[in-house]
Structure 1
Amino acid sequence: MLQILGKASSINVRKVLWTCAELGLPFEREDWGSGFKATDVPEFVALNPNAMVPVIKDGEFVLWESNSIIRYLAGRYDGEFLYPSDPCERARCDQWIDWQASELNRAWSYAFLALVRHSPAHQDRQQIDLSCANWARHIAIVDRQLGTTGGFIAGSAFSLADIPIALSINRWLETPLQHADFPALTAYMERLATRPGYLEYCRNGTP
């Protein structure tokens, strides 16, 4: 059975858990990460040299990096309905998956560490305000895209790209800051509420 190493509160672990829910894929999960088993021990570093969750073990195959994992699972377990084989459709998914990791995450990092994690190293008010403004600007990009598609982030149908994007939106909604009104984004989250994986692993009160 697929093994997932990582605590369920981690946003990156939840990408993997939600993907498994969409695929109907059974798994066993072990708690690793802050508050649980330490990831800097030799046993874990042998699996992921970055000492970060999640890591999966699928038989003898070991993989780390959450976006790589969800792509692998969709490709390995008949997930073409999530991750299309058509090069253009797949590229649209990849575009938003990669943007979430490289651009959106960078925007919210400081504000999240300050306002949710209460990190003493992230309490510069000017930097918090700047991060909140950048975060809102990136959320506005998502809102405009959803207004264009009228459905989901990469098009009219739910895809693998919606998993990391929705988790980042949830993080924004659950962080105590001023939230602008984004009608397309609100409607999008309401559409996602019909999906059990979304309810269990995304919009569950965990930022």
Structure 2
Amino acid sequence: MLKIWGRPNSINVQKVLWTADELALAYDHVPAGREHGQVGEAWFAEMNPNRLVPVIDDDGFVLWESNAIVDYLARQYGKDGFCPTDARQQASARQWMDWATFTLVAAMTPVFWGLVRTPPGQQSDAAAIEKGIAACQAAFRLLDAQLKERAYLLGDSFTLADIPLGCAVYRWHALEVPREELPHLEAWYARLRDRPAYRARVMLPLT
């Protein structure tokens, strides 16, 4: 059986759990990381020497890095268009998945840490938060333009390309930050909220 390690409030673990639920996979979820521990154990380092989550073990096949895991699960178990078979569509999906991680989430990280993870009584970096908000707003304007004439990132159907960005857009809406009116982005976000797996795995309190 598929086994997934990672704390459920991690944006990267949420990608994997959401994907597994969309694919109706049977799996064993083991909370790990931060308050759940386990990542410091020697046996965990044998699976992932980075000592980070998520990690999966699919009948002996161990894999880490969230986008790689989403891509693997989609290719291995996806159907009904969730995983594109055309090489160009596959590349486009990976393009948006990587952009979500290295552009959007990277810009959002100092905002999240400053507003959510800064310990009480400790001063957050206001300049870093402001810079991150501006970078996120620019990224979301780009995403809004991509969604202008399509329901999802790659077209009319929900695919793995929507997973990383879907996790990020919920986090953005859960943060107390100024948000521009971006109608195409909001329509896409509404479509994601209609998905039971999205509500169950992604729409959780920020901690």
When the two structures are superposed, what TM-score results if normalisation uses the length of structure 2?
A: 0.93
2:9 is matched with which residue?
9
Shift of 1:141: 1.2
Q: Do the aligned residues in 2 keep the contact of 1:116 with 1:176 (CA within 8 Å)?
A: no
Aligned partners of 1:78, 1:128: CA distance in 2, in Å? 38
Q: Do the aligned residues in 2 keep the contact of 1:96 with 1:154 (CA within 8 Å)?
A: no
Which structure ranks higher in relative contact order (CA pairs < 8 Å, sequence separation ≥ 6)?
Answer: 2
2:129 is matched with which residue?
128
The 5-angstrom pairing of residues 69-148 of structure 1 reads 69-79=69-79, 81-118=81-118, 123-148=124-149
Aligned partners of 1:47, 1:114: CA distance in 2, in Å? 31
Aligned partners of 2:31, 2:157: CA distance in 1, in Å? 33
Q: Secondary structure at the match of 2:47?
A: coil
Q: Do the aligned residues in 1 keep the contact of 2:7 with 2:36 (CA within 8 Å)?
A: yes
Aligned partners of 1:134, 1:5: CA distance in 2, in Å? 31
- Residues 98 and 34 of structure 1, relative CA distance in 2, 3 Å threshold: same
When the two structures are superposed, what TM-score results if normalisation uses the length of structure 1?
A: 0.93
Structure 1 residues 30-82: Cα deviation after superposition (integer angstroms, max 9, x where no partner): 11011112412212111101110000011111000000001111111144621
Paired amino acid for 2:117: R
The 5-angstrom pairing of residues 164-179 of structure 1 reads 164-179=164-179
Aligned partners of 1:166, 1:133: CA distance in 2, in Å? 19
1:43 is matched with which residue?
43
Number of positions where the alignment pairs a residue of Structure 1 with one of Structure 2: 206
Q: Do the aligned residues in 1 keep the contact of 2:56 with 2:63 (CA within 8 Å)?
A: yes
Paired amino acid for 2:39: T
Query: Runs (4+) of structure 1 moved beyond 6 Å?
Result: none
RMSD over aligned CA atoms reads: 1.7
Aligned partners of 2:87, 2:7: CA distance in 1, in Å? 34
- Residues 183 and 205 of structure 1, relative CA distance in 2, 3 Å threshold: farther
Aligned partners of 1:106, 1:122: CA distance in 2, in Å? 21
Shift of 1:116: 1.2
Structure 1 residues 136-168: Cα deviation after superposition (integer angstroms, max 9, x where no partner): 11111111111132x011222111010111100
Identity of aligned pairs, percent? 36
Paired amino acid for 1:168: A
- Residues 39 and 121 of structure 1, relative CA distance in 2, 3 Å threshold: farther
